[in-house]
Amino acid sequence: MSVEELMEEINSARALAEERLELLMRCRADLDNVLKRSAREKEENIKYASEKLICKLLPVLDSLEQAAKHDQGSNVLYMQLFAVLSGEGLAPIEAKGMKFDPYRHEALYQVESQELEEGLVAEEIQKGYLFNSHVIRFSKVAVAKR
């Protein structure tokens, strides 16, 4: 084998090694991206894991809130349940007296009002809730008009 043939073989081997190294680097970058995306998705799943249960408990919370207006024992139960749900990420949506926000409020009807500006929530019919800062139930409201 001549020197030229050996040099050609070495150059060919170098080109192949560089090509494989580049492929390996791309695969490594893809793997890193998959691992990061998987970690983000796992974090999201953990963050919203209890959302389904909380949605099922909202009618119970509503009933306890209504009962709490008339009975002290029910008020204690309501406060305990609300504290547990709040600890999981539940927060009530502010409605009454606020500017109507279609991303948080569902307008059921309009009411004539001289005291409130047009477009403000005059009455909250059913409380809405956020879970980890996204709406899981819109506030059902009546909106003021002149």
Domain ranges within the chain, ordered by starting residue: 1-47, 51-145
What pLDDT shows up at residue 43?
A: 86
Determine how many CB atoms are found less than 10 A away from the CB of residue 128: 21
Distance CA 59, CA 63 (A): 6
Q: What is the CATH superfamily name and number for domain 51-145?
A: Head domain of nucleotide exchange factor GrpE (2.30.22.10)
Distance CA 61, CA 97 (A): 23
Q: Which two tokens stand for residue 124?
A: 């909250």
Distance CA 98, CA 69 (A): 23
What pLDDT shows up at residue 116?
A: 87
Q: How many residues does the chain have?
A: 146
What pLDDT shows up at residue 62?
A: 92
What pLDDT shows up at residue 82?
A: 93
List per-residue pLDDT tens for the chain, 146 residues long.
788 888 999 999 999 999 999 999 999 999 999 999 999 999 888 877 788 888 888 999 998 898 888 888 788 889 999 999 999 899 999 999 999 999 999 999 999 988 889 999 999 999 999 999 999 999 999 999 98
What pLDDT shows up at residue 52?
A: 85
